[in-house]
Structure 1
Amino acid sequence: MLSEKVQDLEQENHELKERLRALEEMYGDRGKLPKDCRHCRNFSQHYIRCGTSYYPTYDGHCTAGQRLRNRKPDDTCESFAKMEYGENCI
C-alpha cells in the first residue's frame, strides 16, 4: 500500500517536471517577468510632480525605433528588450 502511494507520487512528480519543462520552452529564461513595457529597457515611464515629489503615471513612451507614444506599462510591442536590472537603473 505504501509502495503504491510512493509510485503514484513519483509519477505525479514526473508529470509535473514535464509540464515545467514545456513551460520553460514556451517562455524562455525570462523568469517570471511578462514581456510588457514596464519590464522593457526601451520604455520611458512618465511622471508627475506633486509638491517636491514625483509619482509615476500610467503612461510612457517607447524609445526604440519609431518612438511609439502613449504606451501603457502593460502594453507590448515588437521592440521588446529585456531590462537588465543594475545596468538600466538611474
Structure 2
Amino acid sequence: MAEPKQLANSFEDAIQQLEKIVEHMEQGDLPLDEALTQFERGVALAQHSQQALNSAEQKVKLLLQSKQGSVLTDLNDDDNDAAY
C-alpha cells in the first residue's frame, strides 16, 4: 500500500483530519480504492494521536512524580478518589 502523507503537525490537527475522513467515509460514496486509502490514512492518524496522548500522559506523570516525590498511582483507582 502507498505510504501515508505526512502526519498532522499537532494532536488537534490529527483529530480534525480524522474527523473529516470519518465524515467522508460515512457518506458511503467513495470508490473502494479511495475508501481504502482514506482508511489507511485514518489508521495512521489514530496511531499518531495515540502516541501523542501517551507522550503527554508520561510527561504529566513525570512532572507530578518529581513535584510530589512519590510514586504515582492510576487515576482510575477508586481508593484514590478521595484525594482528588
TM-score interval, smaller chain? 0.3 to 0.5
**More strand by proportion, 1 or 2?**
1
Question: How high is the TM-score relative to the length of structure 2?
Answer: 0.34
**More helix by proportion, 1 or 2?**
2
